[in-house]
Amino acid sequence: MTYVDSAPSKVNKDDYFHMDSLIEHGFAVLKDADFDVPNDEFMNLEYMDWKSGGDTNFAPIASALGDMECAGFWEHNKPDKDGVWTENAKQCPTLKDYVESMNTNFGRVRTIMLNPQDYEQSLTQIHLDDNNRINPPGSGWVVRTWLELTETPGAAMILRTKKEDPGTEIQLPLHKGMRYVVDSERLYHVVMNPTDKPRYSLITSIESSPKMEDWIKANS
């Protein structure tokens, strides 16, 4: 079955803790990862047909209840926090250890396989994420972080503050080992992959917190 992520939730962003590193631009580029991720840790996982940002498949590493699914945590009456490791996590210890090294509350953890799409094709899939549905006011705003797992020449994360306005666009050229954090419920985003091969990346939902802010500063 093919699934599609839902539209973003409607919440008052002022009711949540936000990290200073994301306030101005909505994203932060970190230093490249100083470790290698073996290919079999992400290519040999169990993937599900789940569409978000193009022709994609996702391998759930942490889900709401630890089940092999990509559904939103709110479907289990949970905010996108307190993720539970799935069977896939046993196959990717490097990725699991990396997520735990952030020392913050995480929700959805999954690798994405994005099939080729050029710039114009990717713009038809530009979207906001739904990270903060039923997130309790007074807690940390949920954002997402990426770790690029493959070398994908010409690939870029496209960010816009206004969906239809190219004048608000910023492109982050992507390469293997690149890490970045995005307030993906604030910035419209999509990745273009102009190659003839899939691009793989780790995507993790994380709760904004002083500890996470310290981690971002230490890794920037």
72 against 7, higher pLDDT: 72
CA dihedral 152, 155, 159, 160 (to 10 degrees): -160
122 DSSP 8-state letter: H
Structure tokens at 112: 């994405």
Domain boundaries, the chain: 16-218
Give pLDDT, residue 7. 56
The secondary structure of 17-67 as a DSSP string is B--HHHHTTSEEEPPPPSS---THHHHTSPPEEEESSSSEEEEEEEESSSS
Q: Domain spanning 16-218: which superfamily?
A: B-lactam Antibiotic, Isopenicillin N Synthase; Chain (2.60.120.330)
For the cut 50, the answer to whether the pLDDT of residue 2 exceeds it is: no
Query: pLDDT above 90 covers what percent of the chain?
Result: 95
| Confidence label for 8 from pLDDT (cuts 50, 70 and 90) | low
- Residue 188 neighbours by CB under 8 Å, 6+ apart: 126, 127, 128, 159, 160, 161, 162, 163
pTM beyond cutoff 0.85: yes
Q: What tens digit of pLDDT does each residue of 14-62 get?
A: 999 999 999 999 999 999 999 999 999 999 999 999 999 999 999 999 9
Q: What tens digit of pLDDT does each residue of 92-132 get?
A: 999 999 999 999 999 999 999 999 999 999 999 999 999 99
| Confidence label for 4 from pLDDT (cuts 50, 70 and 90) | very low
Taking residues 67-84, report their average pLDDT: 97
Query: pLDDT above 70 covers what percent of the chain?
Result: 96
Radius of gyration of the chain (CA): 16
